């Protein structure tokens, strides 16, 4: 599996984790809508990365990672008095940032490998 497909699978796994966490733990309607909406958008993006023949623009993965950090970081601050909720939200923020960094790293590695395989000497 090449880099963008690996990152796509990681986004889908993160979205599944976020949806499971929402279904199990959340009871506030606005939090449910926000986390479910982000998880659905993330899973669509991950699926797009899986089926697309060429790599998806990495800045989009970074934007999605920033959205995860913003949403789950904000929820961690809002729920800082509940340790279990705080830990869960911080964990999900780290997952989003981690997958964005994975996509960035795999893109860099793929572009470096592409440059190494090109020979302009004709021989």
- Render pLDDT for 84-123 as a digit per residue (tens, 0 to 9): 999 999 999 999 999 999 888 877 655 555 544 444 344 4
Q: Which two tokens stand for residue 102?
A: 């994975």
What is the number of domains present in the chain?
1
Q: Is residue 82 part of a domain?
A: yes
Q: Is residue 51 part of a domain?
A: yes
CA distance 39 to 19: 6
Q: Is residue 115 part of a domain?
A: no
Give yes or no for a contact between 87 and 6, defined as CB atoms under 8 angstroms apart: no
Give yes or no for a contact between 111 and 3, defined as CB atoms under 8 angstroms apart: no
Nearest to 32 by CA among 24, 41, 22: 22
Residue 1: its pLDDT value, please? Answer: 59
Residue 123: its pLDDT value, please? Answer: 43
Show the domain range for 47. Answer: 3-110
Q: Is residue 117 part of a domain?
A: no
Which position has the token pair 């809002």?
Answer: 78
Q: Is residue 116 part of a domain?
A: no
């Amino acid at each position: 599996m090449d880099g963008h497909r690996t990152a796509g699978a990681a986004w889908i796994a993160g979205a599944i984790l976020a949806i499971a966490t929402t279904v199990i733990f959340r009871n506030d309607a606005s939090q449910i809508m926000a986390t479910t909406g982000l998880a659905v958008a993330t899973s669509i993006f991950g699926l797009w990365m899986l089926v697309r023949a060429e790599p998806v623009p990495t800045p989009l993965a970074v934007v999605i990672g920033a959205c995860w950090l913003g949403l789950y970081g904000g929820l961690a601050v809002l729920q800082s008095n509940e340790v279990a909720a705080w830990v869960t939200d911080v964990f999900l923020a780290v997952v989003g940032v981690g997958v964005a960094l994975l996509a960035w790293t795999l893109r860099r590695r793929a572009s470096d490998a592409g440059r190494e395989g090109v020979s302009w000497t004709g021989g």
